[in-house]
Structure 1
Amino acid sequence: MLTSHNVCSVPSSFQLTGIPGLESLHIWLSIPFGSMYLVAVVGNVTILAVVKVEHSLHQPMYFFLCMLAVIDLVLSTSTMPKLLGIFWFGAGDIGLDACLAQICSASTSSLSLTAILLVMALDRYVAICYPLRYPKLVTAQLLAGLLGAAAARSTCIVAPVVGLASQVRFCRSHIIHHFACEHMALMKLSCGDISLNKTVGLTVRIFNRVLDMLLLGASYSRIIHAAFRISSGRARSKALNTCGSHLLVIFTIYSSTMSSSIVYRVARAASQDVHNLLSAFYLLLPCLVNPFIYGARTKEIRQHLATLFQRAQLPAPPEKPQSLPPHGELPT
């Protein structure tokens, strides 16, 4: 709680408001958002379970799908439980350390999504353009190095933003008019000069998005060009189908992010509740849609998922009756 003696000191905690202006509808809003979050968790966990159980899917492409599923789970879980807690119990209190941790988790997960997509594009490029050399080129050591580089890149991008935010002094209010600790929503409560924070945050976001889009565009243009040059119609169709799944996921992620940014900047006259609703929807949409895209468009996952369901529905074999011990002996 802020007092006259610590006007420009860091408050002990902040208060998230959820969807301001729609407090009376919080319970009703929890139904669609809770359902979407539940479906997203079940869908991504299903992808992980299918790949883990079926040894034939222990290949780089499906390993990347598992990484996407894990990132989707982390991204949605970093914000949705808190949102539902606000809706159900009014539990909007959050400490500064937890607030910064939420910013770090959500931002790192979002950046890791695009990094994994870049690694997947490289994997598909090698698989389609150099199919005979693929097993030798794409090794476990290479995958570990690429994933380590992706994690390091995401961390190096987010660390300056979170580090600068941790040095800010807050004095305007302890109420964050948002359902999560979004970076700029937190910066609005500062009482000092945050021009460096804004510049770093905006530069990092623009540079990262533009660079990733250029790299993905260049990669998939080469991949699609190589796929059309494949003489076998069946192989060409399989390659294009795989690329189609990846491109759908890329479109979902980038359209959600860009739509949220465009609406936020164009519709400045819109109320805060509209912005918050759109932010929650765009945050959850990729995590909800990605497993269904891969589940519906990846033949191997569909087949193994159907096999698992068939095994679950088969009746258990009857137990063999235990034979009686010989007369005069006790059963062991």
Structure 2
Amino acid sequence: MELTNLLRLSPDQNISLSFSEFILYPFPGVTNHRQILVLPFFSIYIAIVVLNFVISYTVWWQKSLHNPMYVLIALLLALNIVGTTAVVPLMIQSLLGQNKVPFSGCLSQMFFVYSTTLFKSVVLLLMAFDRYIAICRPLRYHNIINRSSLIQAWMVGLARNSLLVLLVVFLASRAQYCKSNIILNFVCEYGVLLSLACGEVFKIQMVGVMVRMGVTLSDVTILLVFYVKVLRVALKIAASSARGKALNTCGNHLLVALTVYLCGILSSIFYKVEDSVSYDFQNLSSAIYFLFPAIANPVIYGLRVTEIKDCLMKPWKKKSSGSLNNV
């Protein structure tokens, strides 16, 4: 009933009026029980912030982890915190009924969501390149992978991402929104927002699709090329222990990349078949896309990377040994 009343407030498509305020309405199929969703999503958000912060802080605090690979891991986990913070608090507010968002707020959220997504892709590429040089060009590693080269690569990624994200946000800001001001989701996603725009917006929509899919496909292709070359070299390593360590390290990075890219691709597919999929399922796919990689990444690195796991366990080992000594 609440959703029906809101939809009645939407003006006719022919009225020349552009909304300056939008209403986020996530999980419309559970209208009478939406507040129940606050606790699980809030708990997941707290877990994401804590897990990602603990490992990021551990890398920053532990001098033995001050090398490019671990710095990139910490950067990826920091981006997880920024990305989820741009989404979840507003999501919780909308579930509690405080779901009105100014147009500028929608554009700001879109900027941070797209920025963190593209920057994660840059970090994953740098990780792949780092492993490629470490395993395929080990004698030149310190000449190629250093603070200066990482900063230069980051600046190139910053320039690319800034231009693409600002283009997407600018195009979204120029559209006229008069079909409705109700977003049946918890995030002001580019495609969802433009579906409420009037007039011919197909070209604008295609720009967003090209940016998202173009960057994803190009980055995934480059990443796979690096890891295929790494795999070939790693399999030729005579020492089984060295080969196992190389494969394990690359396997961790590939597993993290898989969670990020696969969740994004599946989410995009569900948006494209919106006529066959319920809004609740679209919301669920969006939640998985934004939350699952952010909580899976620190778990993968915390449990599977020996150096990080040892640093995390060091305080507990000291307490245990201290307790035994006292006994």
Query: Considering the TM-score relative to the shorter chain, is it more than 0.5?
Result: yes
2:90 aligns with one of 69, 73, 82? 82
Instruction: Give the structure 1 partner of residue 157 of structure 2.
Output: 150
Instruction: Give the structure 2 partner of residue 258 of structure 1.
Output: 265
CA distance in 2, matches of 1:312, 1:52: 22
Q: Is the 8 A contact 2:107 2:169 kept in 1?
A: yes
Instruction: Give the structure 2 partner of residue 22 of structure 1.
Output: 30
Q: One-letter code of the match for 1:28? A: I
Instruction: Give the structure 2 partner of residue 327 of structure 1.
Output: none
- Of structures 1 and 2, the larger Rg is shown by 1
The superposition leaves residues 88-147 of structure 1 with CA deviations (integer Å, 9 ceiling, x where unpaired) of x31111111110010111011111111111111111111111222212221111011111
CA distance in 2, matches of 1:108, 1:184: 16
Contiguous gaps of at least 5 residues in structure 2:
1-8
Instruction: Give the structure 1 partner of residue 3 of structure 2.
Output: none
Q: Is the 8 A contact 2:11 2:179 kept in 1?
A: no
CA distance in 2, matches of 1:311, 1:167: 59
Instruction: Give the structure 1 partner of residue 111 of structure 2.
Output: 104
Instruction: Give the structure 2 partner of residue 51 of structure 1.
Output: 59
CA distance in 1, matches of 2:321, 2:203: 62
Q: One-letter code of the match for 2:133? A: V
Decide which moves more: 205-214 or 51-60: 205-214
CA distance in 2, matches of 1:192, 1:267: 20
CA distance in 2, matches of 1:50, 1:214: 32
The superposition leaves residues 214-237 of structure 1 with CA deviations (integer Å, 9 ceiling, x where unpaired) of 111111000111112222222211
The superposition leaves residues 141-182 of structure 1 with CA deviations (integer Å, 9 ceiling, x where unpaired) of 101111111222222222211111111111122222211111
Q: Is the 8 A contact 1:18 1:92 kept in 2?
A: no
Where in structure 2 are the equivalents of 1:99-248 lying within 5 Å? 99-248=106-255
Instruction: Give the structure 1 partner of residue 6 of structure 2.
Output: none
Measure how far apart 1:7 and its partner are: 4.7
The superposition leaves residues 252-301 of structure 1 with CA deviations (integer Å, 9 ceiling, x where unpaired) of 11221122222333463222122112211222110010000111110000
Query: Which structure is higher in helix share?
Result: 2
Q: One-letter code of the match for 1:245? A: N
Q: Is the 8 A contact 1:125 1:219 kept in 2?
A: yes
CA distance in 2, matches of 1:253, 1:124: 18
Q: Is the 8 A contact 1:224 1:240 kept in 2?
A: yes
CA distance in 2, matches of 1:190, 1:264: 17
Instruction: Give the structure 2 partner of residue 298 of structure 1.
Output: 305
Q: One-letter code of the match for 1:292? A: V
Measure how far apart 1:313 and its partner are: 7.1
Measure how far apart 1:314 and its partner are: 8.0
Measure how far apart 1:310 and its partner are: 3.8
RMSD: 2.2
2:81 aligns with one of 63, 73, 80? 73
Instruction: Give the structure 1 partner of residue 47 of structure 2.
Output: 39
Decide which moves more: 291-300 or 195-204: 195-204
CA distance in 1, matches of 2:232, 2:109: 41
CA distance in 1, matches of 2:320, 2:19: 55
Q: One-letter code of the match for 2:316? A: F
Measure how far apart 1:32 and its partner are: 2.2
Measure how far apart 1:312 and its partner are: 6.4
Measure how far apart 1:315 and its partner are: 7.5
Q: Is the 8 A contact 2:49 2:81 kept in 1?
A: yes
TM-score w.r.t. structure 1 length? 0.89
Q: How many residues align?
A: 314
TM-score w.r.t. structure 2 length? 0.90
CA distance in 2, matches of 1:161, 1:66: 28
Q: One-letter code of the match for 1:141? A: S
Contiguous gaps of at least 5 residues in structure 1:
317-332
* SS of residue matched to 1:181: coil
CA distance in 1, matches of 2:158, 2:101: 27
Q: Is the 8 A contact 1:2 1:11 kept in 2?
A: no
